[in-house]
Amino acid sequence: MSKILFVTTTNDRLFDEYAEIFFDEFELCAGQNISLINYVDEGTKKIFNKNYKKIQSKLLESDLHKRFIKFFGNLKQANGYKIKLNDNNQPIGIIHSYRNNAIRYSYKVFAMYQAYQLALKEDYQNLIWIDADIRCKKKFNIDNLNEFLPNDDELVAYLGRTHFPLKDPHSETGFLAFNIHHNYFKNFINEIIDTYISGEIFALKQWHDCWVFDTVRKKFEEEKFKFKNLSGEFEIVPHPFICTNLGYYFDHLKGDRKKDKRSLDEDYIKKEDLHKLNTYQK
């Protein structure tokens, strides 16, 4: 019988801020043979006080991740900080950007890798990464999820973006569906992990998981491996997640949307309105 494993990562602070709502709704909405593994940081305690039937929380005990943190975790630059320069290249302060926060987003990547190994061991057919700032809008079963899964000859189903962010656009990795039984998926995910532990990530233009994913994906595409872009025509919009059919089942509370616990009305764009959209001005 088919089984699907979702994976995410959070901690007590983020659990209080938004993840508890997601977990409660996932417990209510996920159908038979759908489960969620949540990998947590050291020091996390509150999450373990909740009893779920479909959700398990475990410590992220990854030797590879510990190695990455040991080598790079104390570097200010790797945590997203860099010196701001004026027009004369004189330092005028310190700025912070997610684009260079390799440490923060590394937890997500190594949680995926840990879940991949678990999914193989426990005979899951598919593995889906999902961010913890998600709302479940209605009940869903395996049949409902099939259209979001990669086909047999595809490595990953993802949400591509071609125009957002306006400078250096990249995919939206709040939802990634992995074909873990593809003959070359192991090569794909190992290359992502190697990008981190080798330090190669710091040679890239940006250091977050979306940029690493796109970098490795494009390399594999050049080698003629296939991926499924779930965004379709919506790859030109800033928030493709909810504009695709994923939006029937989930909402993604990106950025300030966490305050209102819902996406904005203007985030929902219909296909017939795409021609009116000047993405470059959004």
- The reply to whether 134 falls in a domain is yes
CATH number for position 158: 3.90.550
- The reply to whether 271 falls in a domain is yes
How far is 226 from 151, CA to CA, in rounded Å? 9
Element (H, E) at 73: none
- The reply to whether 23 falls in a domain is yes
Q: Which structural domain range is residue 174 located in?
A: 4-61+104-281
- The reply to whether 203 falls in a domain is yes
Looking at residue 274, its pLDDT comes to 86
Q: pTM value?
A: 0.94
Which residues partner with 128 through β-bridges? 6, 177
How far is 278 from 269, CA to CA, in rounded Å? 12
Q: Over pLDDT 90: what percentage of the chain?
A: 84
- Structural contact between residues 210 and 174, judged by C-beta atoms closer than 8 angstroms: no
DSSP, residue by residue, 16-80:
IIIIHHHHHHHHHHB-TTEEEEEEE-TT--GGGGS--SSEEEEE---HHHHHHHHHHTT-TTTEE
Residue type at 68 in one-letter notation:
F
How far is 150 from 49, CA to CA, in rounded Å? 35
- The reply to whether 230 falls in a domain is yes
- Count of domains in the chain? 1
Q: How far is CA 181 from CA 60, 110, 120, 158, 266, in A?
A: 23, 19, 8, 17, 38
- The reply to whether 250 falls in a domain is yes
How far is 187 from 259, CA to CA, in rounded Å? 39
- The reply to whether 72 falls in a domain is no
Looking at residue 189, its pLDDT comes to 98
Looking at residue 92, its pLDDT comes to 79
Residue type at 166 in one-letter notation:
L
Looking at residue 278, its pLDDT comes to 58
Mean pLDDT, contiguous 10-residue spans, the chain (282 residues)? 94 95 98 98 91 96 96 96 82 87 97 98 97 97 98 98 94 98 98 98 97 98 98 95 96 90 90 71 42
- The reply to whether 66 falls in a domain is no
